Amino acid sequence: MTYKELIAQMTLEEKASLMSGKDFWQTKDIKRLGINSMFLADGPHGIRRQQVAADQLGLNAGLPATCYPTASTVANSWNTELGEKVGDYLGEEAVAQRVHVLLGPGINMKRNPLCGRNFEYFSEDPYHAGKMAASYIRGIQSHGISACVKHFAVNNQEERRMSIDTIVDERTLREIYLTAFEIAVKEGRTKTIMSSYNRLNGEYTNENKHLMKDILRDEWHYNGVVVTNWGGSNDRIAGLLAGNELEMPTTAGQTDQDIIDAVNSGEIEEKVLDECVDRLLTLIYSTNDVFERPYKKEVDIERHHRVAQKVAEESIVLLKNEDNLLPLKFGKKVAVIGDFASEARYQGAGSSIVNPTILDHTMACFEESGIVSIGYEQGFERYGKKNRELINKACSLAKKADVVFLYIGLDEVTEAEGLDRKSMKIPANQVALLDALYEVNQSIVAILSCGSAVEMPWIHKVKGLLHGYLGGQAGARAILRVLSGDVNPSGKLAETYPFRYEDTPSYHHFPGDEASVEYREAMYIGYRYYDTANIDVLFPFGYGLSYTTFDYSHLQVDREGVTFELTNTGDVAGMEIAQLYVGCQSKEIFRAKKELKGFKKIFINAGETKTVVIPFDDKAFRYFNVETNQWEIEEADYHIMIGASIADIRLKDTIFVQGTGAPFPYHKDQLPSYFSGQANDVSQEEFEALLGKNVPTAKWDRHQPLGYTDTIEQCQYAKGVVGRLTYYTITFVHWFLWKIGKRNTANLIMMSIYHMPFRGIARLTGGIVNMPMLDGILMMVNGHFFKGLRHVFRERRKKIKKANSHSS
């Protein structure tokens, strides 16, 4: 232990006190020993430092900070150097705001396009997500503070995220859902990891010793801190035994006492607590060190804004460019239509909301773009109400233009933490506007703003399609620079766009059925499914157009990696993203047809040729063997493919790779769907054969009394009238707020109340309600109203009396 002597000076009470928060955002300090607090702040794409007083739901506006493009946007850059620059600037701003731990990046896999938090995540591919995350971490931590990778692990939906049990087989867990975290730990060297809310195969993740000890600590040799998601601690002692040091936010000493009691009773050895304290002290001292030296207390707001613009420019994806309509020819008259042109859609909703220092809007940036605008019309109401008058005005303007710039996408309340999307469609009133515009002017360029994949049955009605994703505070200007040709688009999709939601591999098993969600598609998420099962898609993984063209040639493959030449065969300089895919030719172990194993982004002038080298690493040929319980290499021929996307392979060769000689782990006759890749509707019997055990019951037990881990949603089945009344009141208030346009407030109710387990009432109220009081609330819900009410008041009096005795 690093701080053995310091820990020896601590009382048991002091050690336990460090294991939970001081308030909503700070850790506890011990002044007599010189141990300071740390401040933790949201920040995947911008610092969201709230005042210490914001100690309830923690959803107040943060201090002004640069809002960079979201992770889903920067992922499309495929540029780890750019990712490191984003991290560097985030870290600089964090230090300026005295933030010790920045809660990001988020690296959960995009298992399903409807996950409401996909805008915060990088990719459907773990290798891509891991490499981008590691770059962010290096940038953030270069300033001496800590990044905090989240949410560990298998948190791929928002609905019931605090209670859902994720059922996934071990190989899929390792290869798909943990690989990005492994890269973040080993290559990014993150100092902090945030555990997720959900259960994993029956156990809450922060109590799951297989996840937290066997894999994270023993296999990956992680020696940093694990912090709970806010209110995500269930059994504090089980969490501590699994190596979860820090519980956030404060519980006003409740769980500190649980730890003290557990040590005194022998339930937990004090040396286990000491190890957790030692790791936390390492983080406290390492992140406080920067603030004990002279440091920059102000940032150059304009400079950071320009960096945000550069990042957005490199992350924009050109998806369609019929007749080379873009870049826009000089002198063309443009009609600008769409509410998002007036008020930019630039970030998601929830804990990641940034209060931007500057905010560019399209109409304010037109003059400098050189594009001639003949006017603007709103065209549609932002939140989906149909308005024929707005459509008519837009059509009148469009008739006078050479080209229509149509700004469409998803609104702020559709993509939000705590909620999943209802469909992959954009609002019907926007499609109705497009249909009407198409009748009067067929030269339409759609500019799409959203953080995740959408269906596009309307795409034949636009000649150009530019996807800005969620481009941050400078995204509007960045888009105009691409439209005008000042910037050559170089982004490529880090996720697949299917034709329709029903084509997605997890369609039949998302978001799960009450108590659990079964990952029956196993490793076949995203392109791994579409490519292997030969399912046509709208836009494949890795796809994106440019204003120039590239030629690939002279592939050479050896045991170290690949070398090839890349030539810009067009008229303008540009950047190309070359992608390395590997495909095993053996049929003994089921795999995806192709898997991403490397990528590189290269700037090339017109007519220039560059030599590109992409090395193989330890992940190039491995698979996880459930018989040997370790990573193995299958002896076989492997196709080595270099492509401009998963569907556009330009160069191909084969290499023989010597294996590790492990036994084959599967019986083919038991797993036909997995060996064929047709894994979008796997039977329970076959999934259980893959799991090696029966799946748990997916329905809630409606006959049992509600307990700590049951949710407010389950009050609809409560035995007590007060429980059922609570449920119907919440659902009515949500409906009413949505009806009158208070959609953000309605979403907040769903996120922070409806899906919350009862224990969250104690864990997220800063000690206002403690667990004994919660016992009384549960009595009331379960049909013992007066007994429960007396219990609540009795325990409240005890709490007040105890607090008064401590203060005196």
Q: pLDDT tens digit string along 182-203?
A: 999 999 999 999 999 999 999 9
Q: Give the N- to C-terminal CA distance of the chain in Å, as an integer.
A: 37
Q: What share of residues in the chain are helix, strand, coil (percent, to 5)?
A: 35, 20, 45
Q: Does pLDDT of 58 surpass 90?
A: no
Which residues are bridge partners to 152 per DSSP? 195
Average pLDDT over residues 637-658: 98
CA–CA distance from 26 to each of 15, 100, 101, 143, 249 (Å)? 16, 10, 10, 20, 8
Q: What is the pLDDT of residue 799?
A: 87
Residue with the bigger pLDDT between 546 and 366: it is: 546
- Averaged pLDDT for residues 312-323: 98
Whole-prediction pTM: 0.96
Contacts of 141 (CB under 8 A, 6+ apart): 87, 91, 147, 188, 189, 190, 191
- For 16, 174, 399, 438, 631, the CA distances from 217, given in Å and listed in that order, are 21, 15, 64, 58, 17
Q: What is the pLDDT of residue 808?
A: 59
Per-residue pLDDT tens digits for 328-354: 999 999 999 999 999 999 998 888 899
Average pLDDT over residues 396-417: 96
Residue 413 near residue 743 (C-beta atoms within 8 A): yes
Q: Which of 166, 250, 37 is nearest to 520 (CA)?
A: 166
* Short-list 511, 340, 352, 502, CA closest to 419: 511
Give ∠ CA 732-733-737 in degrees, rounded to 5: 120
What residue spans of 119-194 are helical by DSSP H?
126-141, 170-172, 179-186
What average pLDDT does the structure give for the chain?
A: 95
Nearest-10 Cα torsion for 306, 49, 102, 757: -130
Strand arrangement of the beta sheet that strand 609-615 belongs to: 550-558, 561-568, 609-615
Q: What is the DSSP string of 453-502?
A: ----TTGGG-SEEEE--S-GGGHHHHHHHHHHTSS------SS-EESSGG
d(CA 71, CA 360): 19
Asked if CATH classification 1.10.150.530 holds for the domain at 548-664, the reply, yes or no, is: no
**d(Cα 577, Cα 574) in Å, to the nearest integer?**
10
Residues 6+ apart with CB under 8 A from 124: 109, 110, 111, 494, 495, 496, 525, 526, 527, 541
The correct answer on CATH 3.40.50.1700 for the domain covering 301-492 is yes
pLDDT in tens, 465-494: 999 999 999 999 999 999 999 999 999 999
Mean of pLDDT values over 658-665: 97
Question: Mean pLDDT throughout 362-381?
Answer: 92
Element (H, E) at 284: helix 270-288
* Exposed / middle / buried, residue 123 (Cβ in 10 Å: 0-12, 13-18, 19+): buried
Buried b (16+ CB within 10 A) or exposed e, 639-654: bbbbbbbbbebbbeee
The reply to whether 4-292 and 548-664 are identical in fold is: no
Measured distance CA(499)–CA(122) in Å, rounded: 21
Distance CA 713, CA 344 (A): 35
pLDDT band at 802 (very low <50, low <70, confident <90, very high): confident
Q: What single string gives the DSSP state of each residue in 173-218?
A: IIIIISHHHHHHHHTS--SEEEEPSSEETTEEGGG-HIIIIIIIII
60 pLDDT more than 70: no
Is 56 a residue whose pLDDT tops 60?
A: no
Give residue-wise pLDDT tens across range 220-278: 999 999 999 999 999 999 999 999 999 999 988 899 999 999 999 999 999 999 999 99
Q: Which residue has the higher pLDDT, 61 or 407?
A: 407
Report residue 699 as tokens: 């329905």
**Per-residue confidence (pLDDT) for residue 55, from 0 to 100:** 43
- In words, the CATH class of domain 4-292 is alpha beta
Q: Which helix (H) or strand (E) holds 744?
A: helix 743-749
Closest among 87, 201, 92, 67 to 133, alpha carbons compared: 87
Domain boundaries, the chain: 4-292, 301-492, 548-664, 712-807
| 807 pLDDT higher than 80 | no
Annotate 26-61 with b (16+ C-beta within 10 A) or e (fewer). bbbbbeeeebbbbbbbbbbbbbbbbeeebbebbbee
pLDDT at 15 over 90: yes
Residues 6+ apart with CB under 8 A from 175: 126, 523, 623, 624
Q: What's the pLDDT score for residue 170?
A: 98
For residue range 590-646, list pLDDT tens digits in order.
999 999 999 999 999 999 999 999 999 999 999 999 999 999 999 999 999 999 999
Band of pLDDT at residue 59, cut at 50, 70 and 90: low
Which helix (H) or strand (E) segment holds residue 512: the answer is: none
The band of 77, judged by pLDDT with boundaries at 50, 70 and 90, is very high
Of 346, 403, 341, whose CA–CA distance to 377 is shortest?
341
* pLDDT score of 54 more than 50: no
pLDDT, mean of residues 387-396: 98
User: What is the number of H-type helices and E-type strands within the chain?
Assistant: 25, 26
Q: Lowest mean pLDDT: which of 483-487, 559-563, 757-761?
A: 757-761
Question: From CA 537, how far away is CA 497, in angstroms rounded?
Answer: 6
Residue 51 has pLDDT above 90, yes or no: no
